[in-house]
Structure 1
Amino acid sequence: MSLPLNTSSTPKAENAYRVMVVDDSAVIRGLLTRMLENDPKVSVIESVSNGEIAIKRIATLDVDVVVLDIEMPVMDGLTALPKLLEAKPGVQIIMASTLTRKNAEISFKAMRLGAADYIPKPTSSGELTKADDFKYELVEKVKALGRVARTARHAPLPSGASATVAKTGAAGQSPAQSPAGKAADPIRRTTGGLYANKEISLRTTAIARPDILAIGSSTGGPQALFDVLGNLGVVSQPVVITQHMPATFTALLAEHIGRISQMPSKEGEDGEAIRGGRIYLAPGGYHMVFEKKGTDTIIRLNQEPPENFCRPAVDPMLRSLSKIYGSHLLVLILTGMGSDGLRGSEVVTTAGGSVIAQDEHTSVVWGMPGAVATAGLCSAVLPIKEMAAHVRQLVLRSAA
């Protein structure tokens, strides 16, 4: 069934992002709607109880973002997903589910089928009502992906919203495959210049032989990580990753990376010495930092306060690595909303290390990579399909 539109007392910005909520629980739909409607740049225009109704309704509505539950009667979210994308090309879909391994597996599959992101729901309506972190994440993801949808079709943004972090093509697509139909200028991509309406200056200092590769990512990150690590082959350096994800998801992500990569992959463990040719992922709920102990680099996990609203966060990882590796640290900042990784990258470049950012055209959200790129911290700003080859070239050339 379809619920009446929410009537919110929050004054709405002109051209507020338009959202459909799909969940079989009327209570949950109401809670999600109220959370979203409290933001002036978000308007919930439809609320329905299953995927079948959503498909019928979306064809007649101007919708930017769908928040789609996974487990529903009549038609579940995974079945509805491709049909929604076919009925409304360009709509951005966030999968929502309780935090179980089964639902995490389904969420990964959904992202491979075209979902833009996922959000883990608290297990009960009582927990949901009190979950401030969930409210923040939900609203911010809806707004970030709303910008994506609007920018792709050149539609106006809500009053005061910026378009500089939104993409015009799907993550992992080459520029030629992008709905925008035009490739990014390769000269500007590699040498700086005007990019995303901002001037980018690239660092031209020589890159020392990397002794470790660190990667930070968020929204759209799993697919970007699969692309980079699936094409990187075996390298002699350790690879350490902070991806914004909850615990069940990070364990599963490490397994998926291990399947597509030629290197072993696992969640990092406190006190573990990292080794070359292996991949270590920060566990959900913990910052992963590093310390030197004799000749070993040791993982330290902590639950210090979130940074940039995230735990794990990229910044503490980069700060700790910079102290150990200095100019021999190579950092990749991949797709993600917000600016986590910016302050850490400043520390990295000050110590002589190098930073490469994913370009806007292939990022789901050009927040994190856009922040480091426009701050002038990068030695290169590259499409995701070029990253693995570029890293291998740096390692092999520097080692020669």
Structure 2
Amino acid sequence: MTRPAAIVIGVSTGGPQALPVVLNGLAPIIAQVPVLIALHIPPEFTRTVAARIETLTGQPTRLAEDGETILPGYAYLSPGDRHLSVARKGEMTIIRLLDTPPENFCKPSVDVLFRSAADVFGATLIGIVLTGMGSDGLAGTRAIVAAGGAVVAQDAASSVVWGMPRLVAAEGLALAVLPLKEIGAWVCRLVRQSQFREKKS
């Protein structure tokens, strides 16, 4: 793939426990690539989850704010009552928080984040689908793959609920289906390989 410009993560049941594991695995590249996370969780818990992730990983993790510029080195977590999406503003890439109806009965919806990020980043996007119930993220994953991006899904054995990643895997959309602890390292290798190919070309 083309040198990655952003990573998006969709996760539901088991997410607060899974996210620190993945972000720790992404530590070698997170200074180069921003991470945006759609997590199904009530709004009153989102600030606590963001603080816990930052404490456990040492990676700057913040609740996404409408209109802010997306910068490498940060993980942006969706508020619990808004859709997290990505948009262009001139040459900048910014966050848009949308108070639109739920998608797949979810708000925030993984599909909203993945679809908007695919529109903005195209083939430079990596998607990660983690543990969760239901089908949210499937349509968004299709959009990432159609745009030329890459997707990895969590495997059944390490998922609390193998719902969201199962559908992505079953449709053949994931380049890899991996245990939780291996996902970060796999993404890091993908980023390094793309950078190596870019230098050779």
Q: TM-score range by the shorter chain?
A: over 0.9
Give, as a single letter, the amino acid of the residue that structure 2 aligns with 1:313.
Answer: S
- Higher gyration radius (CA): 1
Q: How far does residue 224 in structure 1 lie from its aligned partner after superposition?
A: 1.0
For residues 266-305 of structure 1, give each alpha carbon's deviation from its aligned partner in whole angstroms, at most 9, with x where no partner exists. Answer: 0000010010011100000100111101221111111100
Structure having greater relative contact order (Cα 8 Å, sep ≥ 6): 2
SS at match of 2:67: coil
Written as runs of structure 1 = structure 2, the 5 A alignment for 1:77-116 is none
CA contact (8 A) 2:115 2:143 kept: yes
Written as runs of structure 1 = structure 2, the 5 A alignment for 1:344-359 is 344-359=140-155
TM-score when normalising by structure 1: 0.48
Q: In the alignment, what sits opposite 2:190?
A: 394
CA contact (8 A) 2:46 2:80 kept: yes
SS at match of 2:13: coil
Q: Could you tell me which of 59, 78, 103 is aligned with 1:307?
A: 103
Q: How far does residue 263 in structure 1 lie from its aligned partner after superposition?
A: 2.1
SS at match of 2:86: strand
CA contact (8 A) 1:330 1:355 kept: yes
Q: In the alignment, what sits opposite 2:27?
A: 233
Is 1:290 aligned with 2:94? no
Q: In the alignment, what sits opposite 1:360?
A: 156
Give, as a single letter, the amino acid of the residue that structure 2 aligns with 1:309.
Answer: F
TM-score when normalising by structure 2: 0.94
CA contact (8 A) 1:334 1:358 kept: yes
What is the rounded CA distance, in whole Å, between the counterparts of 1:210 and 1:360 in structure 2? 27
Q: In the alignment, what sits opposite 1:217?
A: 11
Q: CA RMSD in A?
A: 1.0
CA contact (8 A) 1:229 1:260 kept: no
Written as runs of structure 1 = structure 2, the 5 A alignment for 1:52-71 is none
Give, as a single letter, the amino acid of the residue that structure 2 aligns with 1:315.
Answer: D
Q: How far does residue 222 in structure 1 lie from its aligned partner after superposition?
A: 1.2
Structure 1: gaps of 5 or more residues: 1-206
Q: How far does residue 369 in structure 1 lie from its aligned partner after superposition?
A: 0.2
Identical aligned residues as a percent = 49
Written as runs of structure 1 = structure 2, the 5 A alignment for 1:261-272 is 261-272=57-68
What is the rounded CA distance, in whole Å, between the counterparts of 1:208 and 1:340 in structure 2? 26
Q: How far does residue 347 in structure 1 lie from its aligned partner after superposition?
A: 0.9
SS at match of 1:337: coil
CA contact (8 A) 2:34 2:72 kept: yes
CA contact (8 A) 2:124 2:149 kept: yes
Q: In the alignment, what sits opposite 1:382?
A: 178
CA contact (8 A) 1:337 1:366 kept: yes
Give, as a single letter, the amino acid of the residue that structure 1 aligns with 2:101.
Answer: P
Q: In the alignment, what sits opposite 2:124?
A: 328
Give, as a single letter, the amino acid of the residue that structure 2 aligns with 1:391.
Answer: V
For residues 109-157 of structure 1, give each alpha carbon's deviation from its aligned partner in whole angstroms, at most 9, with x where no partner exists. Answer: xxxxxxxxxxxxxxxxxxxxxxxxxxxxxxxxxxxxxxxxxxxxxxxxx
What is the rounded CA distance, in whole Å, between the counterparts of 2:153 and 2:11 in structure 1? 10
Is 1:248 aligned with 2:39? no
What is the rounded CA distance, in whole Å, between the counterparts of 2:93 and 2:141 in structure 1? 20
Structure 2: gaps of 5 or more residues: 197-201
Q: How far does residue 232 in structure 1 lie from its aligned partner after superposition?
A: 2.1
CA contact (8 A) 1:231 1:261 kept: no
Q: How far does residue 261 in structure 1 lie from its aligned partner after superposition?
A: 1.9
